[in-house]
Amino acid sequence: MVEELIKKAAILHEALPYIRRFRGTTFVIKYGGHAMTEEALRESFARDVLLLRYVGVRPVVVHGGGPQIDATLERLGIRSTRVEGLRITDEDTMDVVSMVLRGRVNREIVAMLQRYGARAVGLSGIDDSLLLAHKAPPVRLKDGREVDTGRVGTVRDVRPQVLSALLDASIIPVVAPIAADAEGAPLNINADTAAGEIAAAMRAEKLILMTDTEGVLDGDGALIKSLTPQSVAGYRDAEVIKGGMIPKVECALRALAGGVNKCHVIDGRRQHAILLEIFTDSGVGTELVRS
């Protein structure tokens, strides 16, 4: 019993310098994948975010909802396709995306955080013109073909004042990645991209991207502990970084260029992955740094 207590004390001592360093800073956390669908992982995430708030970190949660959207589209008989990791979003799909993200997933996350003692408010990128976007250009494939992704948007401006006001009031903002175009119509924004743009606009200390792999893996499937913009370019040329990992890494690099201090790609299937990455010396995922 005493040995177990000593181990717990050692863990707290290891975390102390990080708690001191990050107190008062902003973390933007992209929440998605299995961490949203398994109850034990949902509980772990909520407790981690609440602990961050209690030790003085200012967390902003930006959530995805891919599995929930896919399930709803299938139930409605609407075909869903992806290109370069991005969902092709026609008008019918956009209606479903809005319904699922704003009407269901966002409310569930807010209720979950509140159940564990946090103060949380849900909103989308449309609210208070948080995310302004224009229609994304066609995606050019390797064979030269161009694919129109429909109601997919590219963020052109972030107005994070509403997020800062909520954080100043000790409230955790929970953001659905839907933006408004020039006419106020909704556009589907990749959740990783939305999180990265918000992190850059807020000059966040950290951008944390939760995914369903250990982090960024090399050609042999081993975890890459640290990446720079230069090493990312090499891995992309070698097609080691591909598919759904491409928008994650790209948004992390944009966030770094926009002023974010460090980005992390972590395994949301691991309980307490956020705390293990942030408050331990070794970490558990892939960090992206400027150099």
Mean pLDDT (the chain) is 92
The structural domain count of the chain equals 1
Determine, yes or no, domain membership for 93. Answer: yes
Determine, yes or no, domain membership for 4. Answer: no
Query: What pLDDT, on the 0 to 100 scale, is given for residue 287?
Result: 96
pLDDT in tens, 33-68: 888 988 999 999 999 999 999 999 999 999 999 889
Determine, yes or no, domain membership for 8. Answer: no
Q: How many CB atoms lie within 10 A of CB 281?
A: 8
Residue ranges for the chain with pLDDT beneath 70: 84-85
Determine, yes or no, domain membership for 180. Answer: yes
pLDDT in tens, 163-185: 999 999 999 999 999 999 999 99
Q: How far is residue 231's CA from residue 253's CA, in Å, rounded to a whole number?
A: 11
Q: How many CB atoms lie within 10 A of CB 203?
A: 14
Query: What pLDDT, on the 0 to 100 scale, is given for residue 247?
Result: 80
Query: What pLDDT, on the 0 to 100 scale, is given for residue 85?
Result: 64
Determine, yes or no, domain membership for 18. Answer: no
Determine, yes or no, domain membership for 27. Answer: yes
Determine, yes or no, domain membership for 2. Answer: no
Are 158 and 198 within 8 A, CB to CB?
Answer: yes
Determine, yes or no, domain membership for 11. Answer: no
Q: Is the pTM of this model over 0.85?
A: yes
Q: Containing domain of residue 268, as a range? A: 23-288
Provide the CB-side half-sphere exposure for 117 (13 A, CA).
9
Query: What pLDDT, on the 0 to 100 scale, is given for residue 67?
Result: 86
With H, G, I as helix, E, B as strand and everything else as coil, classify residue 256: helix
Q: How many CB atoms lie within 10 A of CB 152?
A: 24
Q: How far is residue 43's CA from residue 48's CA, in Å, rounded to a whole number?
A: 9
Q: What is the CATH number of the domain that holds 115?
A: 3.40.1160.10
Query: What pLDDT, on the 0 to 100 scale, is given for residue 3?
Result: 80
